Structure 1
Amino acid sequence: MMSKHNFLINKVVQSCLLLWCCGSLRTHAAAADGPSSLIRGCQGTNLSDVNPYRQNLNQFLVSAAAASRTQDFNTSATGSDPSDTVYGLFMCRGDVSSDVCANCVSTASTDFLNYCSQMVGYGWYDNCLLRYSNQSFFSVFSQADAAVASCAWNTMNVSSDEADKFNQVLGSSINEVADGAANDTRPLQKFAVRLGGAEFSSSNSVYPLAQCIPELSGTDCRRCLSDAISLLPRCCANSRGCRVAFPSCMIWYELFQFYNIASPSSGKGKKGISKQAAIGIAFSTIFCVLLFVVLAVFLLKRRSRKRRDAEIQEAYDGDESLQIDPESLQYSLSAIRIATDDFSVDNKIGQGGFGPVYKGKLPDGQDIAVKRLSRRSGQGAQEFKNEIAVVAKLQHRNLVRLLGFCLEAGEKLLIYEFVPNKSLDYFLFDPEKQQLLDWSKRYKIITGIARGLLYLHEDSRLRIVHRDLKAGNILLDERMNPKIADFGMAKICGVDEFEGNTNRIAGTIGYMAPEYTTTGQFSVKSDVFSFGVVILEIIAGKKNSSFYLSEDSRDLLSYAWEQWRHGTPLAMLDPTIVDSCVEIEVLKCIQIGLLCVEEGADRRPMMSSVVYMLSGDSVTLPDPHLPLISRRERTESIPEELESDRSDTKLLFGSMTDSSSSAV
């Protein structure tokens, strides 16, 4: 239950945000530094790779990714022949930073290069819009635009006793931000939010956002947003969160503040404030800051510095013999600076999604890997330390061992054991280095990964879903034994829980389970799907996300299925291991891989069953079914995507953003 002091602070902060609603700051996004979910549509004629329009489209997508490094909005016409000209634009959400913008557009461009080969396409990602067509659309909300609507909604609804008030407040606030976006007179901006949200109950507020393509007129922008608002009752009646998008505009609301606190627009459509109002806001801001500082100091003095995390206490069932004092794992910043030669460039061995990684050597001669985390964290020091204590207990020969941490002078450092042979993808996808992985080594890697996942899912004190298992996150020691690494996106489930939901889809394309990408539902079976992809990659020596052979085999999974169905599974075998392979082991691994990538999570085996299948020579395996094949075509006129509610499970190292990362 929230204490009276915390409740008071929340009310003070909310009041301050309502007062502090001017300015045009661009700060870090509240969401992850990359698109974690999307609403995408592709329409029109399929294009071959040699088609002039397709070539112009590829050129536009590449140039858009480059231009996004310096621009938040850009339109272009690519091609000299009018019949083959590609009209395209990208636009970033009005409250995200330049880095977030560039990352979103870059990922969106790659996404369209891989998954859309038609004449017309658009994609609303969390932080940006990418759109192209064979006809100019920049300044008009056309009849064709109005015919294509997309919805994404939270499957959880507001309570029935709050529904009437919720709909009333939502209607007024969403129209308020729609007016604000339509009347936005700033250059290249038609964007508005409501700071502080609109309260509809004592404990809940709704936070709306509206945005249009900047080149639309105010009238067309408002008409587009009005059409989107009119679809709310049909798409997501009483939902706790919803997005409705047309190719030219989008509205979005949640019951938590998902946009930045310091937003370019307050959503009221005002063109300026008076001098008297500015003075009033300044005094209000100073008062709120002082009051907040006083209350924060008051509460901090009463907070025990040794408070244990309640979830970890419950997980360990009060067994003191299993407890680790976080302080015992702490390294001094000076020691880490000496070990890494002050984070020398010469010692940098990698760049993960959460920061650079450096090699170091401790005074006792032990080699270490130091991950230097981003400083964009609001996570408390004690919570961070407690989570370190959790991961430090995860000790298994097939997991990279966390030795400790450093939390000093604004730095957040994770100290791991050093694994000398880099990651699996370094060897597996390189035509020369993959020859170093004969079949016996690959089989040992497959079984080792399986045992590591089994430990995370069933044998550790906390059930942990990794959520980003891939070849790049499997490190190899001096004997080529695999070690699962990078728990930056791992989720702790309860001791007796096997699944959860998240509102931020994070991971790596090609490895994510279908139910996770469409509904946000993750479970131990999500890791099983990723493991199945890794098995097939190890056997084929090819990366799933870049594999393309024919119209019938658009990714590695569908290719493996086709070969299995036709009775020729060994056709997918990496040629470099043909002479060293044990046929019965290869066939067993292919079958297990296909079982792991079944479309339905309930059809996939648990990791305990997988380990048993791998270890037994006489085990009878079930027949696999057709996996979910990646489709390049979308024939639906209204593509739909569900966005689930915020997760109740715990994110390991919550200080890090929910985006793709690479191994230690």
Structure 2
Amino acid sequence: MPRVSFLFFLFCLITLISHHGTIAQQDFLKYVCGESPANSNSSFRSNLRSLLLNMSYNTQIDYGFYNFSSSNNFDKVYVIGLCRGDISGQDCRSCIQDSRVIILQVCSPNAREAIGWYDICFLRYSNRLIFGVMETSPSYNSSDSSDALEKDEFKNVLMQMMSYLRERAASRDSFRKFAVANVSGPGNQTMYGLAQCTPDLSNKDCDICLSGEISDISKCCDGKRGGQVVPPSCYIRFRLDSFFDASAYNNTQPFVQSPLPHPASKQAEANDAADSLQMDFETIRMATNDFADANKLGQGGFGAVYLGRLYDGQEIAVKRLSRNSGQGDVEFKNEVLLMARLQHRNLVKLVGFCLKKEERLLVYEFLPNKSLDYFIFDPIKRACLNWQKRVKIIEGISRGLLYLHQDSRVQIIHRDLKPNNILLDEDMNAKISDFGMARLFAVDQTQSNTSTIGGTYGYMVPEYAKHGIFSTKSDVFSFGVLVLEIVSGQKNGEFHNGENIEHIGTAAWKSWSKGMYSNIADPTLLIEEEGSSRSEMMRCIQICLLCLQENAAHRPSMASIVTLLSSSSCTIPIPSEPFFYNWTSMPSIKIIPSSSSGDQSVEESRNELTFTEQFPR
């Protein structure tokens, strides 16, 4: 028997004996095994077993984290182990030891990747570099079987606590990105929460990872008394009973408790974040080749957007606001402050900004597939978007809005949701952009009003156009119109129903009420028609009709919409016929050209009209 195989066999035998046979019965809570290539040779298996056998417990293990790689450059192996931040060093080592035995029992010896989770630790290996790389799959989640009392208040307190924990965990040092807290919930109950990232992540990636998992609470654990979401790079958990050892955590870092930070301190923190993003004008000028026409990606009412490349090779999209644009210094600072606070996979990421004399520049991540309207309103390009791709885009937009409304550090109303403000990355993932018109809400605020009306024709809710009242349900209405455009491939005010042209909501109501979808669906989708696609389209149209209800109280929240979109077993309420007002007959309205930026969009929508006159009270 080869020496490595014999040592590994001896190691497993000793470990099993030392645990009195319990290891064979104690499986992971969840494990995922990667594919096993048919032509796999033994070198990877040998490297993996040797690495697991000879794992050295350096000082990092005292912080609950372990990463190591094989020295052999051929069929190299990378291993990561992480223990929950409140676990003692001895319990951590024991859990990791158990993991390295079990992971080879439950996965094929040829599996090139695997991950296994216990309650207090996980172990992962791969044949590719995984150190310092943020990954959100594979993952698992679980929830308490019991529902929380006073669900709305419970969820509000939960989101505040998880947002606080995310900020604390993401700001920790490189040894332990971990935070716990408890807060008073409804009914005099104490809510306990935990957030943790692998320490090899940057603070920024940790923040992004946790933000995504907090958004997924509504998918797995909505209204439940407890739950957890566990991908490879980060971890969140909450319960109504204490599940962590606060005293053990106190040995190294102070225990985090309520009260939550005061809003004033959050504002100061946001200003500091914005300052850190300020870029030198010369750097941006060089990156865009002096704003050359050849680098121009698009032109909107707020100015032009240019492709740029920084010194490190990173591609960027630079929005250069025109001097006579509708967006002034107030709107510019608003967008910077908002984007500095926001980190979510379905929001466009702000890379930096520059404010120099008359120059106002916003620097975003570059997204190669331009904007959604570039595809769905083009009879040829929209054929590239089959139903599953459109569902993916719809779900991405819904999760981005849910983050803005509920899961971000501050509640935000976008107020200008439309296809050319939805950008697409290389994998056609949707990212919401353009926050120049966005408004912040207090945590307990339900609606607000304004004397200046700004928005886009066809997406604006009746209560906003008539009275200047806006709320999260304003975005819900716009989302309903936008999704109908995605389903149909036609613009909302130019829907062709035979020889008639009508609003897309009216056409959708007629189709749905007759139990049909072929009249509203994009003809390119009907080619791939399947039973499941038909059912999904009808559900999607019904959800959109709920979003278009005249009474804002009858529209669902984004949390409910995300749940309805992700679960075919949920019953969708029956909508009433939506109301669509005649824009041209409304009094005291002056119609002017849209000031929408249309970031990275080559073609602008022809039905964009913005209302800026004040309405009589």
TM-score normalized by the length of structure 1 = 0.47
State yes or no: 1:583 paired with 2:519: no
Q: Counterpart of 1:460?
A: 408
Q: Counterpart of 1:342?
A: 290
Give 1:376 deviation, angstroms: 5.0
Give 1:367 deviation, angstroms: 0.4
| Maintained 8 Å contact 2:302/2:327 | no
Q: Which string of whole-angstrom CA distances, capped at 9 and with x for unpartnered residues, describes residues 298-353 of structure 1?
A: xxxxxxxxxxxxxxx95364598777343321111110110000010111111122
Aligned pairs (5 A) from 1:228-243: none
Question: Which range moved further: 402-411 or 526-535?
Answer: 402-411
| Maintained 8 Å contact 2:299/2:305 | yes
Task: Output the CA distance in 2 between the equivalents of 1:591 and 1:442.
Answer: 16
- Decide which of 388, 392, 397 is 1:449's aligned counterpart: 397
Aligned pairs (5 A) from 1:73-84: none
Give 1:462 deviation, angstroms: 1.3
Q: Counterpart of 1:661?
A: 597
State yes or no: 1:530 paired with 2:478: yes
State yes or no: 1:605 paired with 2:556: yes
Cα separation, partners in 2 of 1:331 and 1:467, compared to 1, 3 Å: same
| Maintained 8 Å contact 1:446/1:535 | yes
Q: Counterpart of 1:127?
A: none
Give 1:661 deviation, angstroms: 3.2
Paired AA for residue 595 in structure 1:
L
State yes or no: 1:622 paired with 2:573: yes
Task: Output the CA distance in 2 between the equivalents of 1:374 and 1:337.
Answer: 15
Task: Output the CA distance in 2 between the equivalents of 1:383 and 1:522.
Answer: 18
Paired AA for residue 537 in structure 2:
V
- Decide which of 484, 506, 510 is 2:458's aligned counterpart: 510
| Maintained 8 Å contact 1:506/1:659 | no
Q: Counterpart of 1:592?
A: 543
Q: Which has the higher contact order (CA 8 A, sep 6+)?
A: 1
Paired AA for residue 359 in structure 2:
E
Q: Counterpart of 1:495?
A: 443
Cα separation, partners in 2 of 1:617 and 1:325, compared to 1, 3 Å: closer
Q: Counterpart of 2:349?
A: 401
Q: Which string of whole-angstrom CA distances, capped at 9 and with x for unpartnered residues, describes residues 453-510 of structure 1?
A: 0001111111111111011111110000000011111112223223221222211111
Cα separation, partners in 2 of 1:660 and 1:404, compared to 1, 3 Å: same
Task: Output the CA distance in 1 between the equivalents of 2:327 and 2:476.
Answer: 30
- Decide which of 289, 296, 299 is 1:351's aligned counterpart: 299
Cα separation, partners in 2 of 1:409 and 1:429, compared to 1, 3 Å: same
Task: Output the CA distance in 2 between the equivalents of 1:586 and 1:434.
Answer: 16
| Maintained 8 Å contact 1:373/1:412 | yes
Task: Output the CA distance in 1 between the equivalents of 2:599 and 2:322.
Answer: 15
- Decide which of 370, 380, 392 is 2:340's aligned counterpart: 392
| Maintained 8 Å contact 2:402/2:559 | yes
Q: Which string of whole-angstrom CA distances, capped at 9 and with x for unpartnered residues, describes residues 382-440 of structure 1?
A: 99668624322211110001111011132111010001101111110111001000000
Q: Counterpart of 2:512?
A: 564
Question: Which range moved further: 477-486 or 400-409?
Answer: 400-409
State yes or no: 1:539 paired with 2:500: no
| Maintained 8 Å contact 2:301/2:594 | no
State yes or no: 1:479 paired with 2:415: no
- Decide which of 331, 355, 361 is 2:279's aligned counterpart: 331
| Maintained 8 Å contact 1:420/1:478 | yes
| Maintained 8 Å contact 1:405/1:414 | yes
| Maintained 8 Å contact 2:413/2:440 | yes
Q: Counterpart of 2:312?
A: 364
Aligned pairs (5 A) from 1:31-430: 315=263, 317-318=265-266, 324-375=272-323, 388-430=336-378
| Maintained 8 Å contact 1:463/1:498 | no
Q: Counterpart of 2:467?
A: 519
Task: Output the CA distance in 2 between the equivalents of 1:633 and 1:361.
Answer: 45
| Maintained 8 Å contact 2:480/2:545 | yes
Task: Output the CA distance in 1 between the equivalents of 2:366 and 2:396.
Answer: 18
Residue-pair matches, total: 335
Aligned pairs (5 A) from 1:545-560: 545-549=493-497, 554-560=502-508
Q: Which string of whole-angstrom CA distances, capped at 9 and with x for unpartnered residues, describes residues 26-63 of structure 1?
A: xxxxxxxxxxxxxxxxxxxxxxxxxxxxxxxxxxxxxx
Task: Output the CA distance in 1 between the equivalents of 2:494 and 2:485.
Answer: 11
Cα separation, partners in 2 of 1:321 and 1:521, compared to 1, 3 Å: closer
Task: Output the CA distance in 1 between the equivalents of 2:363 and 2:356.
Answer: 14
Question: Which range moved further: 517-526 or 624-633?
Answer: 624-633
* Percentage of pairs with the same residue: 53
TM-score normalized by the length of structure 2 = 0.51
User: Is there any run of 5+ residues in structure 1 with no aligned partner, and where?
Assistant: 1-312, 644-656
Question: Which range moved further: 623-632 or 371-380?
Answer: 371-380
Give 1:630 deviation, angstroms: 4.5
User: Per the alignment, in what secondary structure is the counterpart of residue 290 of structure 2?
Assistant: coil
RMSD across aligned positions (CA): 2.9
Give 1:551 deviation, angstroms: 9.1
